Chain A
Amino acid sequence: MASPRPEQKNEPWKDPGAQPYVRLEKLTKRFGDFVAVDDVTLNIYRGEIFCLLGGSGSGKTTLLRMMAGFERPSEGRIWIDGADVTATPPYERPVNMMFQSYALFPHMSVQKNVAFGLRQDKVAAGEIDQRVTDILKLVRMEQFAKRMPHQLSGGQRQRVALARALVKRPKLLLLDEPLAALDRKLREHTQFELLNIQEKLGVTFVVVTHDQEEAMTLATRIGVMNHGGIAQIGTASDIYEYPGSRFVADFIGSVNMFEGRLVEDEPDYVRVASDELGGTFHVGHGVSAAPDATVWVALRPEKIVLSRERPDGDGDNRVEGVVAEVAYRGDQSIYLVKLATGRQMRVTQPNTLRTGTGERIRWDDRVWLSWDSSSPVVVTQ
């Protein structure tokens, strides 16, 4: 998925002198014997949209709840804007949260829900009215101010929840699966709206999600979580193109993963012989691993070229197979190709031509699969 935001020039995480806005230091949370969050250290910078991405039980929500102050960490410290807030109760943190269930107060109107936070701060009545009106305008809910939450649709509730969290102008906004309850069309629309609002207000967002597309669309950086720890942190393209582990490669998008042996190890390329592939990968990046070590090669389905003719060149980065399945997806087609070794390989090809025009690859066709040496990624763990 293409990134909707212009390529960011400022990447504070690359600047060693930059002060992190939120700093989690060796954070651990145990529930009885179960370790929900395991020794997480994380820096989040001002103005970022940081996505915590992971499956259920990966600890991402617990991490978010610790930032909000609903859970006390078993170990470690939390710093927000230079202040240690580890022991600060939730009602004194400069943090607002948008709940997965939205948690709108059912006995209050939209207007009262949004004004609730400002009332707690003893803001003057006139200013409350003004700010509530402004923020409802921003989320385009101003005509629903008098409605009760149960009179709203899911998407409208989501906007009210967002307005309620934003109206206090928090330094840090936590969003727990903000779009999970919305249908696909509305979700995409809202993603871009969230980006607009974030740019307008300059708030730092931390978003928890299990939806990788959502993470990739929103995030400046993504932290992939697994078993309570952070598996990898990076921009969407870092994580997609250069996964650091088999888990990350497998979790983000779909991938063909082959076990192999390092047969040639040079600073700018490696060759990996794979019995599963029945051939050799020529990978255009160096790897820090012992010679002859067992490694894994990850190859994205869309980076494979499918052809009937044998490609030119030497014998690396190609394999022959038989088409076992074809799935037509409209914008693209998915092919499952069975190799001579018995492994199946997933290949996606964009449907640049309308089907019926040109010669299509069908079931049981013999095909050649080939790829560029920049496409495969070697992971050692």
Chain B
Amino acid sequence: MSKPFLLGELLAWIRAHGPWRWASQGLRARGYSGRTLVTAVPYLWLALFFLLPFLIVLKISVSEMQLAMPPYQPLVSWISDGVIALRISFENYLFLLEDSLYWKSYLNSIRTAAISTVICLLIGYPMAYGIARSPAAWRNLLLLLVMLPFWTSFLLRVYAWIGILKNNGVINNLLMALGIIDEPIVMLQTNFAMYIGIVYSYLPFMVLPLYTAIEKLDQSLLEAAANLGCRPVKAFFRITVPLTMTGIIAGCMLVFIPAVGEFVIPALLGGPDSLMIGRVLWEEFFNNRDWPVASAVAIVMLFVLVIPIMIYQRSQGQQLGAHR
């Protein structure tokens, strides 16, 4: 007998008798179908790798710091005569409110992310529009070019910007060689460099959803608008923008959310005053070794981000409802 045949028989036997059958029968008896199992997988994944870590971080954020290993006090402690003590401390959160450093860096993060998002939108929309309206043969190539940077490590690309922007970097050397400037322009370690880094890194996340939305837009709607006496610029704001709003919102979320927590780009390209919450978190965790405060910072940041995500979800739901 050949091996594949044996294997096939074995599989058939397992399906007929083995644990497979017990499992499937057992599940069916409790009212679970194959569909439930399939949808259960992503939920299990999220529970294991998102919900559980989140709960751990939440737990640490309401504990108190101690110089030990682990560097925080347990929430639940045994007191000698069989009494369990539960210590929940909101001190860390109060500390975040008291020290202006924290809310300033939250605000700074949100402002930086918002400005970056607007710049990405202003650059990304014409790009996406151009790609969506280019001849079909060109479109895939252009999209590939948008995605091409992903083939190189993110970190390497940010380092490359250091080489371009630094005092004896590509731009300054070129400008000085041409005699346009005598002194190098200080660009690295400024907000300017940080915005360049963020916009450069996140632009593809803006372009791709915008492209999808614009590409779907029915050209005859713009013709109808023109036919009814609407000039092209006005038609863009009355027809194109509202009908590509899903793409605009998706692109803005995909840029804004990671940009709020961005740590690498401000650290490498930004100046000392560009205090962003990702950097504060890093310093609390690794330099101060204050895990509870770092966890509180993370939890607050999560809630700061959950609000725009919920707005996004709502608008998506409305869009789905409207087009059905």
Contacts and interface: CB of A to CB of B under 8 A. Distances in A.
User: Are chains A and B native binding partners rather than an unrelated pairing?
Assistant: yes
Interface of A: 68-70, 89-92, 95-97, 99, 101, 103-107, 116-117, 120-121, 148, 150, 164-165, 168
B224 A121 contact: no
B182 interface: no
Nearest to B229: A120
A147 to B, nearest CB: 12
B223 A96 contact: no
Interface of B: 218, 220-221, 223-232, 234, 238-239, 242-243, 322-324
B226 A168 contact: no
B228 A116 contact: yes
Q: What are the 6 A-B residue pairs with the smallest beta carbon separation, nearest first?
A: A117-B228, A120-B229, A103-B224, A90-B226, A103-B220, A91-B226
30 contacts: A69-B226, A70-B226, A90-B223, A91-B230, A91-B232, A92-B229, A96-B227, A96-B228, A97-B224, A97-B227, A99-B220, A101-B220, A103-B221, A103-B223, A104-B224, A105-B221, A105-B239, A106-B221, A106-B323, A107-B242, A116-B225, A116-B228, A116-B230, A120-B228, A148-B322, A150-B323, A150-B324, A164-B224, A164-B228, A165-B227
A89 B323 contact: no
Given A70-B223, A103-B218, A120-B234, 13 more contacts: A68-B227, A91-B231, A95-B227, A96-B227, A103-B223, A106-B243, A107-B242, A107-B243, A117-B228, A117-B229, A120-B230, A148-B322, A168-B229
| Interface-central residue, A68, A103, A104, A168, by most chain B CB under 10 Å | A103
A105 to B, nearest CB: 6
A89 B229 CA distance: 10
A95 B229 CA distance: 9
B228 A101 contact: no
B298 to A, nearest CB: 39
Contact of A90 (B220, B227, B234, B239): B227
Contacts of B225: 105, 116
A165 B229 CA distance: 11
Nearest to B228: A117
Contacts of B224: 97, 99, 103-105, 164
Best-buried of B218, B223, B243 by chain A (most CB within 10 Å): B223
B223 A99 contact: yes
Nearest to A90: B226
Contacts of A68: 223, 227
B218 A101 contact: yes
Contacts of B323: 106, 150
Contacts of B231: 91
Contacts of B324: 150
Tell me which of B227, B239, B322 has the highest count of chain A C-beta atoms within 10 A of its own C-beta.
B227
Contacts of A121: 229
Nearest to B231: A91
Contacts of A104: 224
A96 B225 CA distance: 10
Contacts of B228: 91, 96, 116-117, 120, 164, 168
Contacts of A168: 228-229
Contacts of A99: 220, 223-224
A107 B239 CA distance: 8
B67 to A, nearest CB: 60
A90 to B, nearest CB: 4
Contacts of B242: 107
A283 to B, nearest CB: 47
Nearest to B230: A120
Contacts of B243: 106-107
Contacts of A165: 227
Nearest to B220: A103
Contacts of B322: 106-107, 148, 150
B321 to A, nearest CB: 10
Nearest to B224: A103
Contacts of B232: 91
A96 B224 CA distance: 9
A103 B231 CA distance: 17
Contacts of A164: 224, 228
B229 to A, nearest CB: 4
Nearest to A117: B228
A68 B243 CA distance: 24
A89 B231 CA distance: 9
Nearest to A95: B227
Contacts of A89: 226
B209 to A, nearest CB: 18
A117 B322 CA distance: 23
